[in-house]
Amino acid sequence: MSNDCCNTDESNKNLKGLDHKDAIQERYGSAALEKESCLCTPVGFNPVLLEAIPEEVIERDYGCGNPTKYVKKNDIVLDLGSGSGKNAFICSQIVGEEGKVIGVDQNPDMLKLSRYASKKFSEKIGFINTEFLSGSIENLDVLDKDLNPLIANKSVDIILSNCVLNLVNPESRKNLLRNIKRVLKDNGRIAISDIVSSKRVPLRLQNDHDLWTGCISGAWYEPELLNDFKDLGFKNLEFAERSNEPWKVIEDIEFRTVTLVGNI
């Protein structure tokens, strides 16, 4: 298996036909209704911050790291692919009443769960500072009827994401990255937990719906994740966390968890 198999013109041509959207919607829609144990990896969170969060949210959280540790008091937080809302609800308590947390997700079942849970959660903590918007994370610039983008320019202090960027179609990743930069304030930060690969994933594995929706075959090649954010102008980039042992090994490709931090 060649390590540069995704660099050929033929590969790039085939990538245009790569579309797992329906499979992702179906799998995560089901996972919003009933816990699926094989999505992403188990992660420990501060138990104190979990007490106010409804149990159904915690059960249906699918991530591979804890990017919430990099959020600060009074931050305006954007959670890309907010899912059940667990990370957003943790951030809500960290940023406090003067802060704000915006979750973006395109799965109707996940949005229904997070919005329903938000009412119970807010009653417990005594204030409301979370909002869950319907949209795809690569299209944060989509305009509403008043010609306002889903997320405004330079409106966010920190973007976090937990095992979601790998689900974005390769053809849409440039737009995803451009939008990440666009919505961050000057000196805005990122804290992105995701799966990376030790080699570029060949197209035949990328075309496997189960591997893609399982946060495996859509993994960024590890050096390219860093370089893509460097090319955007991000500074102080580092893997604040990186698992020593791979989460999965498929055909001699190691897939491991990382949390990438940096600022614009």
Transcribe 59-97 into DSSP letters.
Answer: HT---SS-GGGG--TT-EEEEET-TTSHHHHHHHHHH-T
Nearest to 238 by CA among 206, 256, 257, 263: 263
Beta strands 76-80 and 130-134: pairing type?
A: unpaired
pLDDT (tens, 9 = 90+) of the chain, 264 residues, equals: 233 333 333 333 344 445 555 544 544 444 444 444 444 555 678 999 999 999 999 988 878 999 999 999 999 999 999 999 999 999 999 999 999 999 999 999 999 999 999 999 999 999 999 999 999 999 999 999 999 999 999 999 999 999 999 989 888 999 999 999 999 999 999 999 999 999 998 888 888 777 767 778 789 999 999 999 999 999 999 999 999 999 999 999 999 999 999 999
Per-residue b or e along 149-184, where b marks 16 or more CB atoms closer than 10 Å to that residue's CB: bbbeeebbbbbbbbbbbbbbbbeebebbbebbbbbb
**Beta carbons within 8 Å of 9's beta carbon, 6+ residues apart:** none
Q: State residue 167's pLDDT score.
A: 87
DSSP state of 149: B
Instruction: Give the pTM.
Output: 0.85
Contact 56, 80 (CB under 8 A): no
User: Would you list the domain boundaries of the chain?
Assistant: 9-263
Phi and psi of 156, rounded to 5°? -125, 135
> The tokens of 159 are what?
């973007």
Considering the four listed CATH numbers 2.60.120.10, 3.10.180.10, 3.30.70.890, 3.40.50.150, the one that applies to the domain covering 9-263 is: 3.40.50.150
